[in-house]
Amino acid sequence: MFLKHEKDYADLSLEISDSIDWEAGVLRTTHYRLDITVSAVDPVSGLLAVGTSKGLVALYGSPGVECTLRLSDAPDARVQHLHFVPSLCKLCCIDEHDRLHIWDLTTIGAPKLQKIVNLPRPVNCLLVSPSHTHALIALSNGEIRMYDLLCLRMSPYTVPPNLWSLYEEKVQASGMPAIPTSDSNTILDMVIHPRDVNLLFIAFGGGVILYDLRQREMVRVYELILPPGAPGGSGYYTADILLPRHSSVTALSIHPSGHMLAVGYTDGSIAFWALQDEERPLLVRTLDNEDDVGVVDVAKLELFLPSGQPSNEQPKPSVDAREPIFKLSWSGFPNSSDPRGGDTTLTVLGGFGNKDSQGITVFLFPPLNPPASPPAASAAHKAPVPPPLHNNTRIAMRETLTPLDSHIYLSAGAVQDFLLIPRESPHFACTWDPQTILLLSDSDLDSSGKTRIMVGYEFPPPAFLPVTTSPIVAQSPSISGSDNPTEALTQELASTLQSMSLSADPEQIGLPLEFWDALGGVIIQLERDPYEQLSSADADRGYLPTWGGKAWVEDADGQMKLMKYQPRRVLITHDLDLSVRFLDLSAQLLVSSLDNPLSATFPKPWPALTIEVSPVIHDPSLHLVTSPSSSLHVSSSSSQSTFEQAIHGGQLHIASVHIAPESLECMIALTNGALIVYRLRSGEGEAAVNPPDEELVSLTHISSTRMFQPFFAVKPGQGAITACAVADTGKWHDNAFSLSHTRLEFYSSSICVDRGLFCGRRHLHRPSIDIPFFLGTRPLSEILSHRLPGQYAHWRQVPQPFNWDFVPRIRLIASTSAGHTIVHTLTRSPSGAWTVSSSPKIIEASMYPIPGGSVGLSAALANDKLVDRGHEVDNNVKHKDCIWVSAGAKGVKCVADVDGERIARTEWGSKTGAVRRVEIVDKNGASALVAFTERGEALVYSLPFLKHLHTLQLPQHSIS
């Protein structure tokens, strides 16, 4: 049985109507690692490993090299410790049930599990040195056991248990009082001396012991006891300020030269010790105080204690308690010919106050180059016993602890751990010459702390390196030759703002998609030129420095040669941290073989294209942050914490992202109703612009080192954005900011546009626009009780005629939930100004539009492709230029030329379930409609006759 219009229109789905043309499969499955507990890196094999709370260990190497290891006996056991063994190419893991797992990484394919060892007591820490074949395991009872990783058995070598108890007994026997703490005998960390593998630093809760493995004896003990009156990390308001105090050790790190060590404590202080001097530290400081808080400052003490004793009458101010120092890493760099090394960096986790921002602090220290000690006195002259460290040497070492610079890697949530990735050396505790830092932090949207996010940055920060000019940053125009004072002032301001750019901030490293915290995304298809424009912009950007192994795609069916004909696709995601990220999703990335393995990950991240919205909305003068339930702007006098609460408190997020496929302008809609427009950097100086509308704000003064530059924004206050579309008719022009935006509010079948641009059918002319865009917002007042907010908008990118207007023009199609649709026509004058017609066309669309449910197809173009492939087309049959596909929650229909006759219509049916989204699938010039249901099925319909062709069952793990 033929349809009414079956002979009047060409079948656009003829070549893809057979069942052999349709097959639902999984291209790639991504398991998000949002429960990471520990990580490790091997710079020798080029592998990165992460452990999760569900008993999984994931390995990452070169592009395509990914492997997941599961703890066999207890699949849900939390991974507590994870270390590589570079000398044996093995991986060690200890779970929460205190079992040691050992994998061999030399096997072809997945690593082989060699051994599972049950340990007698809970494990506090695990140490694996690249210079040893033994793993040192510290147990909760203060015992250190050694496991032979080569012979896979417990080693007879041991470290005497309870070393700290032996030290305390020795101190008490000498007549000195001991100040024990509850965790004095608990082993917290172990570090091998970077220059002598026979020396082992053992961090107990009471202090640090330097132990000689060969001689089996204690060499030195570093115990910090604050004298009465010393503030320490707790400050002068602590109750026991006039008593000797003992802070518990929490972290330990050794200087690359081996001559100094940094020890972190529970009060948030860091003590720097000289290796030869165990009597007193070189310096005790906090993150925000370079003064020595380990000594008594009588003048400051008297300010807080004027009577010499704590005053109980005066109220004590609230103390901003510091968090403990959780982790320390002292790194060296090969920038000096001196064997003692060059500049060093100390990376600190913890030590912040309750009111401080979360992050990782990095200090840059000068090279350690103390003078030689004077010769010792001759035996003929009686002299007092010299101190363990000469005073001149002590002063010189103390001067090297004055930071040259500092930087904080900020994080939205609390940082739980960090990992430094060195370039090539596994020695120096795997912190020598690091090039990348990975931050593991809690998600600011999960109050339970179970969701963790990993982010990578370049290391060290660019500010620590010699100042160089970035090739991406555009040069400011010269102001010396300008005679106009206003122009000169404008150019000088632009130059100043450019010098204040974020070029000194570390660039973010492109991590695999598994580490992202994406809230949503969209896949777009690009032509060759815009794709190459985006891919070339990210050619020199940094990625995760892993290169172990190789991977390729097996081509049993011979489909590899057809991948080069696939269209280029890009995945755009928006994340919890108000950032927009781009990934290359093109099938061409999978072209590989055994001799030519994969050269890029799939999908491939483009970190240079990342758009960070936070720097824009943090500026209170722009008025881009409001409460979603209020139209009041945040005043410029509001504190920074107000913006942090709005951003990281779950109130402000990215609602949607839209990009023009050709001109590549990117529009970011926020949940508070603001819209920010970005464009690609042009490489020329940005000209100052003045927005003609009070709702618009120019962002050209904001400089950024990334490829997408902020252009302008629409201020919030008119309600949440429900629809957004951009016409890809060209790029924004710098010489004119004559932009007119249109906010449409739908009431029943009429249209009301804010600020008098439209009111019913009345047209009030406004300045011309360079590129039109559309915002649909929810009404702010109850005009009609049955008002229906606009849901979807659609720009026609190809010239589209109507029945009443056969001139090809740009059309805007905006639909409401009730199906009422208003069509606006845009025309451009010879001067380049865009205007909107005063008489919009009102038509009917499908009720309750669904995502992807408003699409225009070029029927004329499809007919030409049919002729090119040898199909006969009846010239006497009427062929429309456009077919409009309108899909809603109940069904779909096809209409000729948007407002013409209805070609076909079909209902989804109750047995299929609710349809979530529809897509137009194109292949070799043929098109078909695919509807995705809540039951995991894909319904395939022909175009334009909407015949049901096939029902595909989607793989369950692709929709779960």
Tell me the residue type at 212.
D
Instruction: At 561, list the tokens.
Output: 């040669």
Run of H or E including 485: helix 485-499
Q: Is 83 left (phi over 0), alpha (psi -120 to 50) or beta?
A: beta
Distance between CA atoms of 607 and 538, rounded to whole angstroms? Answer: 7
Return the pLDDT at 633.
43
On whether the CB atoms of residues 892 and 918 are closer than 8 A, the answer is: yes
Return the pLDDT at 373.
62
Kind of pairing between the strands at 773-777 and 742-747: parallel
Distance between CA atoms of 827 and 832, rounded to whole angstroms? Answer: 10
Distance between CA atoms of 676 and 698, rounded to whole angstroms? Answer: 10
Instruction: At 643, list the tokens.
Output: 């913006």
Distance between CA atoms of 838 and 716, rounded to whole angstroms? Answer: 26
3-state secondary structure of 464: helix
Nearest to 548 by CA among 27, 220, 154, 67: 67
Run of H or E including 684: none
Query: Which ranges constitute the DSSP H helices of 730-806?
Result: none
How crowded is residue 102: how many other Cβ atoms within 10 Å of its Cβ? 21
On whether the CB atoms of residues 226 and 166 are closer than 8 A, the answer is: no
**Domain 33-118 class?**
mainly beta
On whether the CB atoms of residues 100 and 93 are closer than 8 A, the answer is: yes
Return the pLDDT at 492.
61
On whether the CB atoms of residues 250 and 326 are closer than 8 A, the answer is: yes
Distances from the Cα of 2 to the Cα of 6, 17, 928, 947, angstroms: 6, 17, 19, 11
Distance between CA atoms of 498 and 493, rounded to whole angstroms? Answer: 8
On whether the CB atoms of residues 738 and 690 are closer than 8 A, the answer is: no
Q: Determine if the peptide bond prior to 161 is cis (ω within 30°).
A: no
Instruction: Give domain limits for the chain.
Output: 33-118, 518-623+650-762
pLDDT per position as a tens digit, 341-366: 789 999 999 999 877 788 999 999 99
Distance between CA atoms of 60 and 548, rounded to whole angstroms? Answer: 8
Distances from the Cα of 482 to the Cα of 236, 478, 498, angstroms: 58, 8, 19
Instruction: At 138, list the tokens.
Output: 């510290």
Nearest to 741 by CA among 697, 708, 709, 783: 697
3-state secondary structure of 343: coil
Tell me the residue type at 86.
P
For residue 452, list its beta bridge partners. Answer: 442
Run of H or E including 777: strand 773-777
* Residue 26 C-alpha from the chain's centroid: 26
Residue ranges in the chain whose pLDDT is less than 70: 1-7, 74, 178, 180, 306-320, 338-340, 372-386, 445, 447, 466-504, 538-541, 626-650, 683-692, 728-806, 859-881, 957-960
pLDDT per position as a tens digit, 615-645: 888 888 888 886 444 443 444 444 445 555 5
User: DSSP of 539-581, one letter per residue?
Assistant: TT--B-----S------SSS-GGGGGGSPEEEEEEEETTSEEE
Tell me the residue type at 952.
L
In angstroms, the first-to-last Cα distance of the chain is: 40
On whether the CB atoms of residues 507 and 543 are closer than 8 A, the answer is: no
3-state secondary structure of 501: coil
Reported in sequence order, the residue ranges of 75-111 that DSSP labels E, i.e. its strands, are: 79-85, 90-95, 99-104
On whether the CB atoms of residues 7 and 877 are closer than 8 A, the answer is: yes
Whole-model pTM over 0.85: no
Instruction: At 456, list the tokens.
Output: 């990578």
Distance between CA atoms of 262 and 253, rounded to whole angstroms? Answer: 5
pLDDT per position as a tens digit, 742-777: 433 332 222 333 322 222 222 222 223 333 344 433
Return the pLDDT at 300.
84
Could you give phi then psi for residue 58, rounded to 5 degrees? -105, 130
b/e 628-667 (16+ beta carbons within 10 angstroms → b): beeeebbeeeeeeeebeebbbeeebbbbbbbbbeebbbbb
Lay out the sheet containing 208-212: strands in order across.
187-192, 199-204, 208-212, 217-222
Secondary-structure percent of the chain, ordered helix, strand, coil, rounded to 5 = 10, 35, 50
Q: Is 86 left (phi over 0), alpha (psi -120 to 50) or beta?
A: alpha
User: DSSP of 414-457, one letter per residue?
Assistant: -EEEEEEEESS---GGGTSSEEEEEEEEE-TT-TTS--EEEEEE
Residue 791: burial class (beta carbons within 10 Å; 0-12, 13-18, 19+):
buried
Rg of the Cα atoms in the chain? 34
On whether the CB atoms of residues 952 and 938 are closer than 8 A, the answer is: yes
